[in-house]
Amino acid sequence: MINAKITYHCFHCQSEDIVKNGHNPKGKQQYRCKHCGRGGVLDPTVAYTEAEKERIINAYYERPSMRGIERVFGVARQTLAVWLKKSRPRHPRHLSPRDPMTP
Ligand SMILES: [Zn+2]
């Protein structure tokens, strides 16, 4: 017999005082935290590891198009856009050439 007990914590405040709160469209169990009132998915699927993200982001800075990245790596452009926003502070030298606000 395998008897595993998993204790889930709130991702926001680490409280154990969480309750089930339905499922998201993908069928993942969601929770709501009674302590901070926030919620989320109980065990989020990690689609890309940090190393994979890094590799794809670095590939993007070699200047292919976002659609090119999408075709090669199968990562949605929207996902890539989110990563790029988050990764920008670490790549300040890449900021200006691709910044659409720059004339
Ligand atoms: Zn909480």
pLDDT tens, residue by residue, 34-83: 999 999 999 888 889 999 999 999 999 998 899 999 999 999 999 999 99
Tell me if 32 is assigned to some domain: yes
**Protein residues near ligand 1, an ion, with CB under 5 A:** 10, 12-13, 15, 33, 35-36
Please report the pLDDT score of residue 68 as a whole number. 92
Distance 35 CA to ligand 1 centre (A): 5
> Are 13 and 26 members of one domain?
yes
Tell me if 99 is assigned to some domain: no
Predicted TM-score of the model (pTM): 0.50
Residue 97 belongs to what H/E stretch? helix 95-98
Count of the separate structural domains present in the chain: 2
Token pair of 90 as six digits = 């670490």
Higher pLDDT, 91 or 17: 17
Asked if 47 and 56 touch (Cβ cutoff 8 Å), the reply is no
Distance 24 CA to ligand 1 centre (A): 18
Tell me if 21 is assigned to some domain: yes
Residue 99 pLDDT grade (very low, low, confident, very high; cuts 50, 70, 90): low
Domain of residue 65: give its range.
Answer: 50-90
Q: CA 8, CA 94: separation in Å to the nearest integer? A: 39
Distance 7 CA to ligand 1 centre (A): 14
Tell me if 102 is assigned to some domain: no
